[in-house]
Amino acid sequence: MEIFIQYLITFGWALTAAISMAVAMSIGLTIFTWISPLNEWEEVRNGNMGMAIILAAAVIAMAIVVAFAITG
């Protein structure tokens, strides 16, 4: 029974981390969109692969920062 409780605690922390990461990424992309002079999402909808690559790079950069912050 004790191991089941430990699994539930681990699942709870994983769920908390996933929600926190989603919120942080959405805030980061919103700030990135505000400081940029272009409408990135409209450009991606129009098929601009360069802008899609830039947005993907921004997401990866934020993930790297979070990963280094977690590992210390």
In order along its 72 residues, the chain shows pLDDT tens digits of: 899 999 999 999 999 888 888 888 889 889 988 998 888 889 999 999 999 999 999 889 988 887 788 776
The predicted structure's pLDDT at residue 72? 64
Residue 47 carries which DSSP code?
T
Predicted pLDDT of residue 46: 94
The rounded distance, in Å, linking the Cα atoms of 10 and 20 is 15
Three-class secondary structure of residue 1 per DSSP: coil
The domain locations on the chain are: 23-72
Q: What is the DSSP letter of 37?
A: S
